Amino acid sequence: MIRSIAKRAAMLAALSLANHAFAATPSNASAAVPEHAADFVARDFHFSDGTILPEIRIHYVTLGTPQRDTHGDVTNAVLLMHGTTGTSNAYLTPLMRKELFAPGQPLDASRYFIVIPDGLGRGGSTKPSDGMRMNFPHYGYGDVVEANHQLLVDGLKIRHLRLVLGTSMGGMQTWMWGERYPGMADALMPIASQPIAMAGRNWMWRQMIVGAIRNDPAWQGGAYAAEPTQWTRVMPVFTLMTNNPARIQAEAPDRESATKMVDTLITNAGKTDANDVLYWFESSWDYNPAPELSKIRGRLFAVNFSDDLINATDLNVMQKLIGEVAGGRYVEMPETAQSYGHQTLAHPEVWKPYLAQLMNGS
């Protein structure tokens, strides 16, 4: 059954606003596995733009139990990082639980201690809409990665990882993680990403959203009294870029249903804070792993999808660059009846065989 694109957009909007006061309810398959939600506070956090905040909060969820060696070091930790519009809940769907964390699955939560943060600027973590608005530091992806690193090392006392896996933005941050902390992870799996700076079509569609917010008459330089709404009319471009055309056609096979889908996407976009969204899409300003790929240690499987418009495979980026990673392998998954374009990242049943290979060989 084809998932409703409009419903998925609504879910993403809801997740981006969620302040996770409690852990999500475990599925039956993982009911016996400990699951906890908490906040880590990093003191005197230094942003890459030179700003220092006295503290930032990183919300996170953990699944499973840490195992320790004779020195007390955690030996079974896994870090999962989500996409631009998501939160930790992206990995807590029934499908993710069934395909990744259930007994016998690649990240069986009875074997691994899985850490899933809300990236800085999103969900229950510190973000512009908490009060600072446009006075919030203009963070980059590097700041998100550093905050997650402090959560692990300072907050959870984890100094080594069995795996770092990320999807979309999280995939991009997985490349950065491998370069910043070489050897900290046995394995890395960036999904639906490319290790090059934002440019071309991938930069253009993001600038459409950024420009729509900054030029919305009600935005008022970020100091609005009521949420601006005109910018939301551009947000359907996000769905056009992230979904397989065949899925959209099946979901909206006539003019009436297609128009209704657009209206629903605009309505759902209005449920998110404009300043938060602006920061989401501007924060890729510091992303360019290409020059330092040779620093990455451990095994790396990069998985992309041939029908993903955001990471267009016809650019041949991965074919050119994967050789820079000593333990790297590139997997390009073809379009099939099970494809969802960029959103195939939310369907682990499609790509988990490669995760199993990576974990078994690390």
**Cα angle at 251 between 248 and 255, to 5 degrees?**
90
Give the 3-state secondary structure of residue 94: helix
Q: What are phi and psi of 217, to 5 degrees?
A: -55, -30
So what's the pLDDT on residue 26?
43
Residue 32 has pLDDT above 60, yes or no: yes
d(CA 227, CA 223): 10
Give the 3-state secondary structure of residue 221: helix
So what's the pLDDT on residue 137?
98
**Chain length of the chain:** 362
User: Do residues 251 and 4 touch, judged by C-beta distance below 8 A?
Assistant: yes
Q: Which residues is 38 bridged to in the sheet?
A: 60
So what's the pLDDT on residue 5?
57
290: tokens are: 């290409």
Residues 147-200: tens digit of each pLDDT? 999 999 999 999 999 999 999 999 999 999 999 999 999 999 999 999 999 999
Contacts of 31 (CB under 8 A, 6+ apart): none
Q: What is the rounded average pLDDT of the residues 25-51? A: 83
24: tokens are: 């999500």
User: Do residues 176 and 190 touch, judged by C-beta distance below 8 A?
Assistant: no
How large is the C-alpha radius of gyration of the chain? 20
Q: What is the rounded average pLDDT of the residues 282-295? A: 98
List the alpha helices (DSSP H) in the chain.
5-17, 94-96, 141-150, 169-180, 200-214, 236-242, 245-251, 255-269, 274-282, 317-321, 348-361
pTM, rounded to two decimals: 0.92
| Domains, the chain, ordered by start | 5-200+281-361 (3.40.50.1820)
Residue 25 has pLDDT above 80, yes or no: no
Question: What torsion, rounded to 10 degrees, do the Cα atoms 343, 344, 346, 352 define?
Answer: -160
Residue 22 has pLDDT above 70, yes or no: no
Q: What is the 3-state secondary structure (H, E, C) of 16-59?
A: HHCCCCCCCCCCHHHCCCCEEEEEEEEEEEECCCCCEEEEEEEE
Which amino acid, one-letter code, is at 220? Q
Q: What is the rounded average pLDDT of the residues 313-325? A: 96
User: Do residues 314 and 304 touch, judged by C-beta distance below 8 A?
Assistant: no
So what's the pLDDT on residue 219?
98
User: Do residues 228 and 219 touch, judged by C-beta distance below 8 A?
Assistant: yes
So what's the pLDDT on residue 362?
77
**pLDDT interval class at 6 (50, 70, 90):** low
Check residue 176 and give left, alpha or beta (phi > 0: left; psi -120 to 50: alpha): alpha
Say how far residue 220 (Cα) sits from the centre of its chain.
29
Residues 202-224: tens digit of each pLDDT? 999 999 999 999 999 999 999 99
Average pLDDT, the chain: 93
130: tokens are: 């908490």
Edge-to-edge order in the sheet of strand 185-191: 35-46, 52-63, 113-117, 77-81, 161-167, 185-191, 299-305, 328-333
